[in-house]
Amino acid sequence: MDCSNDAHEQNNFLSRADALPSPSQVLPSEDPGHDSEDEYANYMASLNISDESKWKPVPVSNKAEDFSPNGELDVEPARPWPGGLRPSRLKHFASHYPVTPLDPIYKEQYFWGKLNSVPGFRPRALKPPARLRFASHLPGRTRPLKLFQDLAYDKLAAVQSHRHSASGLLTSFLAIHKIVQVPGTIVACAAASGGHPDYSDEDREASPQLDNNAGTLVVLDQGRSSSKKYYTVNDVLFNPLNPKQFLSTGNDCQVQIWQLPQVDAVEMIESVTSVPWMMNSITLGDAAQDLVRSSNGANIAVSCRDGTVSIFKTMNLFASSTEFRAMPLPDPETKLHVAPPDAGHATGTVLWGCGPTERLIYTSSEPHDSDGEGKDQGFHHAYDMSQGRELFPFSANEAGDAGAISPDGSSYVLITCGENNQHPIRLYDVARKSGHAIAETTLEASISQFSSFEVTAATFSSEGRLLAVARSDNATHMYDIRMLTKGPLVVFKHKELDVIGSPRYGVVHACWVEGRDRRRVGIVSGGNDGCVRVWDPMLALSDKSQGKVLARTEFDVAYFALGDMWAGEKPLILGHCGGGLYVYDHLDGDGVP
């Protein structure tokens, strides 16, 4: 079929003469369809933008950098404001942009279209509830305004009461010295009338006093007889490697190793009435005082009244005692003399370092006779236990009072008692192994009627910047070690003492607590008013929530211990000077612990 007719010839874009040649046809060299090499080089050269001859010159007056005063601008004078006043800053007016109107057909199909159609409706920005605006840094949580509520101390209540657990009576004013706990077990030690150390056969054979009875070592659900003289127990410490064992020191010059009864599901009922038994004991040259474990728990230091400190390996000390046999105890790895033998000094504060200084141990001494000659003298040293030698002495020369180690182990605070009842407080940079104080100040009396006082405890906060100092004048001072020379930041006072002549210990213990978000810290202390109180440095002293009472007793507070409830420990255990022991726990809405 022939499709080439006249009707379609006019639609041909290419004529037959201009049609492309077939591949078999060869174009001649002079065909203009091919460029020579010279033409290609000239063409590429014309594209060189660096050649200024290719550019047309721009008029000078049109250049942006031309600042010549050839052109004059007509500036309209500013219109004066009414009254001759001008605004201090420019006003910013809202810019309205054209918006494509919504088709009425689709307007009612959308929710916002229906709301805008309601007469008098004005949409507004939604605000979160007030309780969330106060806790904007904790999305979805409510942060109480008071530290007392943040730690749920308002839900504390006494769940166990052991009145006169220790040997103290109302007339003897004997106190509980120490309270320690592990999940499920509480051990406390106390004083006893006539429980001082014996130094002769006559003293040992003397009949005990009437109130020298059982209870100097208290383990809950424990029973003991009172057929012999009981000595004051000075300290207790759980085995860092086994919570079923603990140590005790007393005025009978012994360090005793105790084993707790094994409790299982089968023998639960029988084991409740069982008591711990002493597996072994070590006899020292004088009354054994404090038990101090190293930061890693590998070593335990035992201070003695004769001015020595005995260092034991924890594994060797407890491995020599089992349930079935008691082998001879090993000798101390090291025995330190904190004072010359003829000085007549007892061992005072003993502290282990931590972190970069964990191998160091710091010791202080204090005279036996607080009223005799040399009552204001003391010896203070730092020892390196890895080498078993003295590393350097500290610059203080007064009698030791208290000490504290920062959490990172780089700083050491030493508080002493010197002439005229002066209490210098010195800060040392022990990380640099320096015995010279980098800061120093003097403690002042908090209550005018007490010209003399003692420092009972000192402790650092968790970040190591704040220092709490508990004192026998019933006050707790808080310092910032970065500004130690400026004195205390704040002073927290318990109720002023109203009984004169009876033994009073003031604030016997103080410890730091943290809020749940770790942004707020507080101090918990126990004083002569029989109360354990929490102090919030963020509140004014006149605030009604300042010094909120956690626990109250009819006697002076002798000691208290705070526990980690998330680890199964009791949040608060209180021991008073009457020998009573109280265990506190959190209660739910139904009053159940």
pLDDT the model gives residue 413: 96
pLDDT for the residue 254: 92
Examine residue 59 and state whether it is found in any structural domain, yes or no. no
How far apart, in whole angstroms, are the C-alpha atoms of residue 480 and residue 441? 12
pTM summary value: 0.71
The residue count of the chain comes to 593
Is residue 3 included in any domain, yes or no?
A: no
pLDDT band at 322 (very low <50, low <70, confident <90, very high): low
Has residue 290 been placed in a domain?
A: yes
Within-domain flag for 362: yes
Q: Say if CB 307 and CB 341 are below 8 A apart.
A: yes
Q: What is the 3-state secondary structure (H, E, C) of 200-215?
A: CHHHHHCCCCCCCCCC
Burial class of 160 by CB neighbour count within 10 A (0 to 12, 13 to 18, 19+): middle
Please check whether residue 454 lies inside any domain of the structure. yes
Mean pLDDT of the chain: 77
* pLDDT score of 69 more than 60: no
- Mean pLDDT, to the nearest integer, of 521-549? 91
With a cut of 90, say whether residue 444 has pLDDT above it: no
pLDDT per position as a tens digit, 263-295: 554 444 443 446 788 888 999 989 999 999 999
Ranges 124-133, 264-273, 293-302, 490-499: which has the least confidence: 264-273
Q: What angle do CA 409, 410, 416 make, to 5 degrees?
A: 90
Residue 313 lies in a domain: yes
On the question of pLDDT at 110 being above 70, the answer is no
Do strands 423-429 and 548-552 pair parallel, antiparallel, or not at all (unpaired)? unpaired
Q: For residue 486, what pLDDT is reported? A: 92
Asked if residue 447 lies in contact with residue 467, where contact means CB atoms within 8 angstroms, the answer is: no
Q: Which of 189-193, 308-312, 503-507, 545-549 has the lowest mean pLDDT?
A: 503-507
284 in a structural domain: yes
Task: Tell me which residue range forms the domain holding 189.
Answer: 147-586
Res 510: pLDDT: 94
What are the DSSP E strand ranges found in 368-462?
Answer: 380-384, 389-393, 399-405, 411-417, 423-429, 437-443, 455-460
pLDDT digits (tens, 9 = 90+) for 372-417: 676 788 999 999 998 888 999 999 999 999 999 999 999 999 999 9
User: What is the CATH number for 331?
Assistant: 2.130.10.10
**Res 104: pLDDT:** 57
Q: How many domains does the chain have?
A: 1
| Top-confidence residue, 164 or 290 | 290
Phi, psi at 522, each rounded to 5° = -150, 170
31 domain residue, yes or no:
no
